């Protein structure tokens, strides 16, 4: 496939017509090669030649995660012997989905991440320390690895965890950039503080942050982002991606949302009825992959709630920018007359200095309503913690959720259950 990264710098009208042309190619490809979409087109009487532009996309039904879970191999468009790698989703939201990549898909993935690092002010000569897993079928780890190589920068694969080893490596090899989960950066800060290390003299200048939002809806640093930045003033870049989309939305230096890569992905934001929403409105991120051979996706609903923006960005790109993730559609909590998403509760807890670790649980109470229970580890006596939390919770959530206190070890077990690739901070124990 030919990549056109410069298209991000073209006006939106140019991007739209480019994407419309790519969309027509994709529809032809799916019609010929995808058992799943062939069936879908025929079932819904869709003549792909009537879909002429991105604006016509809404005539095609969306694809959901459960479609992929139930018909995983019907999405495969190539013979098995063209598959070069099998990756998988984490499985934190039900059954894992396998995404098979061809050689070209791996090249596409590398290109995508190369462009992402460029967007996040990466350059040849940078030294990136990768603090995340490169195995366990995790696509992002390999994507970063390949992207950094293409960038012409150097790599250090330290993997996740082990703050002492991470610091030793940062200092020994003078890593000026890291790729990490924000909450792990807090562990690095804590470790450095305990040993009286002055973080201002650490060689790290920028951090590419994955998995957790750093900003609130106004693009200001949220409690987690602030906590990191106040202690360790490195430049923070948020990213948003998923295994299924095989493409990242990465912030530029302006930090005003993750830039779409128009040559690799079509972005729609849909309301609860599946209707496209305009810029600035929050809805479900729905994507169509461009240039994918193995398992391309058409109008795939990610379950993540975001908005997009089209206003001018100081970096010179005109590509749409994606807001921080407000939450996931399935995780919406109806709580005492309001609706909220777990990240909003995380943000409140991240702001409370005496809460060391937490897990937010939601369950169905006797009245069949959503109820929140906070599992907390705190150095304070239980009564004192509860008294101090009450006014904070009442002002932010209007009510005090149930509290359960745990040792650090128990919380650790709750956050990292066996076989989990990701830290678990939200437990959904609601009756379906």
Packing angle of the helix pair 139-151, 103-119 (nearest 10 deg) = 70
Residues 142, 408: Cα–Cα separation, whole Å: 32
Residue closer to Zn ion by CB (options 254, 369) is 254
* Closest to 178 measured CA to CA, from 200, 152, 149, 158: 158
**Region label for 371, one of left (φ > 0), alpha (ψ between -120 and 50) or beta (otherwise):** beta
Q: What are the helix (H) ranges across 246-356? A: 342-350
Measure CA of the first residue to CA of the last residue in the chain; give whole Å: 43
Closest CB to Zn ion among residues 51, 252: 252
Q: How far is the CB of 254 from Zn ion (least distance, A)?
A: 5
- Residue closer to Zn ion, measured from CB, 65 or 318: 318
Q: Which of 167, 233, 237, 230 is nearest to 200 (CA)?
A: 233
How far is residue 211's CA from residue 224's CA, in Å, rounded to a whole number?
12
d(CA 332, CA 327) in angstroms, rounded, equals: 7
Burial of residue 209 (CB within 10 Å: 0-12, 13-18, 19+) is buried
Q: Which is nearer to Zn ion, 8 or 99 (CB)?
A: 8
Give φ, ψ of 40 to 5 degrees. -65, -45
Q: If 0-12 CB within 10 Å is exposed, 13-18 middle and 19+ buried, where does residue 97 land?
A: buried
Minimum Å gap between C-beta 252 and Zn ion is 3
| Cβ nearer to Zn ion, comparing 314 with 395 | 314
Angle at 379 between CA 390 and CA 159, to 5 degrees: 110
> Considering the complex, what minimum distance in angstroms separates the CB of residue 7 from Zn ion?
14
- Residue 241: closest CA among 287, 278, 297: 287
CB 265 to Zn ion: min, Å: 16
Closer to Zn ion by Cβ: residue 143 or 252? 252
Q: Which is nearer to Zn ion, 316 or 379 (CB)?
A: 316
CB of 292 to Zn ion, least distance (A): 25
| Shortest spacing between CB 262 and Zn ion, in angstroms | 13
How near is the Cβ of 335 to Zn ion at its closest, in Å? Answer: 35
Instruction: List residues binding Zn ion (CB under 5 A).
Output: 252, 254, 313, 315, 317
Q: How far is the CB of 314 from Zn ion (least distance, A)?
A: 6
The per-type count for the chain, helices as H runs and strands as E runs, is 11, 21
Ramachandran assignment for 365, one of left (phi > 0), alpha (psi -120 to 50 degrees), beta (any other): beta
Q: Which helix (H) or strand (E) holds 25?
A: helix 12-33
H or E element: which one contains 387?
Answer: helix 382-397
Whichever of 175 and 315 has its CB closer to Zn ion, that residue is 315
Closest CB to Zn ion among residues 74, 121: 121
Q: Shortest distance, CB of residue 246 to Zn ion, whole angstroms?
A: 22
């Amino acid at each position: 496939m030919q990549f056109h990264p410069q298209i991000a710098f073209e006006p939106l009208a140019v991007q739209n017509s480019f994407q419309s042309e790519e969309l027509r190619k994709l529809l032809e490809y799916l019609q010929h090669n995808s058992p799943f979409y062939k069936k879908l087109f025929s079932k819904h009487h869709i003549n792909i030649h009537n879909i002429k532009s991105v604006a016509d996309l809404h005539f095609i039904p969306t694809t959901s995660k459960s479609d992929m879970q139930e018909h995983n191999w019907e999405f495969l468009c190539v013979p098995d012997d063209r598959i070069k790698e099998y990756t998988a989703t984490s499985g934190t939201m039900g059954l894992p989905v396998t995404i098979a990549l061809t050689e070209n898909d791996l090249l596409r993935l590398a290109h995508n991440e190369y462009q992402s690092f460029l967007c996040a002010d990466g350059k040849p000569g940078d030294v990136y320390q990768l603090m995340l897993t490169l195995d366990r079928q995790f696509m992002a780890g390999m994507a970063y690895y390949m992207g950094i190589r293409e960038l012409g920068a150097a790599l250090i694969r330290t993997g996740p965890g082990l703050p002492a080893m991470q610091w030793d490596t940062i200092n020994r090899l003078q890593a000026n950039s890291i790729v990490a989960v924000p909450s792990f950066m807090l562990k690095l800060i804590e470790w450095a503080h305990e040993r009286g290390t002055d973080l201002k003299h650490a060689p790290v200048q920028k951090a590419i942050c994955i998995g957790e939002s750093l900003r609130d809806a106004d693009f200001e640093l949220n409690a987690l982002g602030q906590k990191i930045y106040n202690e360790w003033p490195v430049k923070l870049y948020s990213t948003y991606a998923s295994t299924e989309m095989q493409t990242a939305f990465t912030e530029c230096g302006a930090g005003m949302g993750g830039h779409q890569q128009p040559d690799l992905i079509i972005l729609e934001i849909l309301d609860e009825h599946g209707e496209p929403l305009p810029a600035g409105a929050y809805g479900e991120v729905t994507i169509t992959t461009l240039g994918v051979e193995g398992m391309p996706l058409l109008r795939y609903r990610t379950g993540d709630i975001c908005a997009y923006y089209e206003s001018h960005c100081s970096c010179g790109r005109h590509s749409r920018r994606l807001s921080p993730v407000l939450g996931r559609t399935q995780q919406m909590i109806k709580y005492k007359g309001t609706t909220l998403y777990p990240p909003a509760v995380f943000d409140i807890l991240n702001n409370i200095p005496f809460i060391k670790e937490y897990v937010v649980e939601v369950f169905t109470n006797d009245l069949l309503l959503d109820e929140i229970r906070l599992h907390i580890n705190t150095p304070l006596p239980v009564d004192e913690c509860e008294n101090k939390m009450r006014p904070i919770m009442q002002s932010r959530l209007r009510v005090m959720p149930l509290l359960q206190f745990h040792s650090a070890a128990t919380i650790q077990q709750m956050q990292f259950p066996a076989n989990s690739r990701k830290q678990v901070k939200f437990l959904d124990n609601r009756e379906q």
